[in-house]
């Protein structure tokens, strides 16, 4: 990687982090505090909202798992992030504040490493301007602040990106191991299986050599999930416990598989007509969900005509997995790891007038500010 690329990534990351802290300041001025799901509890939050707000909602659960281990009804949260957090934190101390710092360090450093990987991956096929625009579209995306929170987004993003990169370069064991770590972090990382499978097929088709190592690499990818399922079977007797208790996270989610057309039907004919339009946070979140579902669905179809097939397969499967619970709840966050969407958007936007590019960044930036401000004040966003 050239020095200019490294400087661009580091500068973008630092400015993005500074912007998130400024948005938290803005949120304190704009929105009253919701006290139910604050990271570290109300007392800690009031002492330092610029730190603890990035542990709100799921961050509390990941921190608690890293601190105390799994408890009933927490198996929905996959294990790799708590494990890494605990390993790093316990080098210093076992106090909760150390756990919190460790988790945020893991998430932020992983995201930064993922950005470097994304640059290298894109530069295999495209010019520098496409790589830059892809990264900008990603960090301007309305839910990108989750990359900097105690959530799995930053970690699974880095693992997926580098798994792709090593597969593209023919370093199969690295690709498989990182893929296994990814499926131990988030179930949507299973979308790597058809993607890596295509890369294996393409590699074996055009090169003579042993097929054993590439196929071992492909077989490694689901092992992270399989090992977690085995742990659940031994611990609670149900290897699918992470799916069967998904309904506790909202009435809109189901522990039975719901197909995508039914999810859209629910939104257009049940959710949207019954919204309380006097309550801005729920209106903002709901429209962000359905907009993400529509826009990324269109991009997913379009990608099969514009992008490498492995990218499109990953995009399609990664898009289809989250709504299986019957809702687009959290979907604006789940799509963050679907890097082909941002690459495709960059390819399209790169050819457009400068005014349109500025408009896209401005609109996305305003939505990011609203989403992060709401999240920092204890409102559910994604």
Distance CA 336, CA 287 (A): 17
CB contact at 8 A, 104 and 54: yes
The CA-CA-CA angle for residues 219, 66, 19, to 5°, reads 95
Tokens of 100: 């919190």
What local confidence, expressed as pLDDT, does residue 256 receive?
72
Q: Where are the alpha helices (DSSP H) in 170-270?
A: 172-183, 192-206, 212-220, 223-236, 241-244, 260-266
The angle subtended at Cα 282 by Cα 290 and Cα 338, nearest 5°, is: 40
| Token output for 64 | 């608690």
pLDDT value at position 249? 57
Tokens standing for residue 47:
């002492």
Residue 248: what pLDDT?
A: 54
- Check residue 333 and give its pLDDT: 98
Provide the token pair at 209.
């050599």
Measure the CA angle with vertex 273, ends 267 and 275; round to 5°.
90
Is the pTM higher than 0.85? The answer reads yes
**How confident is the model at residue 250, as a pLDDT?**
54
Alpha helix (H) residue ranges in 31-126: 41-47, 49-52, 58-68, 80-89, 96-123
Mean pLDDT in consecutive groups of 10 residues from the start of the chain, 382 residues? 87 98 97 92 95 96 96 93 96 92 98 98 97 98 98 99 98 98 98 98 83 95 98 95 70 71 94 94 97 98 98 98 91 98 98 96 98 97 92
Amino acid 244: pLDDT: 80
């Amino acid at each position: 990687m050239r020095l200019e690329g490294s400087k661009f990534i580091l500068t973008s990351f630092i400015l993005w982090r500074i912007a998130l802290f400024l948005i938290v300041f803005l949120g304190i001025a704009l929105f009253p505090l919701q006290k139910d799901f604050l990271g570290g509890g109300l007392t800690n939050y009031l002492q330092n909202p610029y730190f603890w707000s990035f542990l709100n909602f799921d961050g509390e659960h990941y921190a608690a798992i890293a601190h105390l281990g799994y408890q009933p009804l927490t198996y929905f949260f996959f294990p790799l992030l708590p494990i890494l957090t605990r390993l790093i934190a316990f080098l210093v101390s076992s106090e909760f504040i150390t756990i919190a710092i460790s988790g945020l360090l893991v998430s932020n450093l992983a995201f930064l490493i993922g950005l470097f990987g994304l640059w290298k991956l894109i530069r295999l096929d495209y010019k520098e301007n496409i790589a830059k625009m892809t990264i900008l579209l990603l960090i301007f995306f309305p839910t990108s602040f989750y990359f900097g929170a105690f959530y799995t987004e930053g970690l699974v993003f880095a693992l997926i990106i580098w798994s792709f990169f090593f597969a593209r370069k023919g370093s199969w064991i690295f690709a498989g191991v990182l893929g296994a770590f990814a499926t131990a972090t988030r179930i949507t990382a299973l979308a790597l299986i058809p993607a890596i499978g295509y890369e294996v097929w393409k590699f074996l088709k055009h090169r003579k050599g042993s097929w054993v190592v590439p196929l071992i690499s492909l077989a490694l990818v689901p092992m992270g999930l399989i090992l977690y399922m085995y742990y659940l079977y031994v611990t609670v007797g149900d290897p699918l416990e992470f799916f069967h208790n998904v309904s506790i996270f909202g009435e809109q989610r189901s522990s039975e598989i719901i197909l995508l057309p039914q999810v859209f039907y629910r939104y257009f004919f049940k959710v949207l007509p019954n919204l309380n339009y006097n309550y801005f946070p729920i209106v903002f979140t709901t429209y962000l969900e359905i907009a993400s579902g529509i826009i990324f669905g269109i991009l997913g179809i379009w990608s099969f005509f514009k992008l490498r097939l492995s990218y499109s397969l990953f995009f399609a499967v990664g898009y289809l997995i989250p709504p299986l619970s019957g809702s687009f709840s959290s979907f604006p966050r789940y799509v963050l790891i679907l890097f082909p969407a941002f690459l495709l958007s960059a390819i399209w936007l790169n050819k457009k007038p400068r005014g349109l590019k500025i408009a896209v960044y401005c609109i996305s930036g305003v939505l990011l500010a609203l989403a992060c401000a709401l999240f920092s004040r204890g409102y559910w966003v994604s």
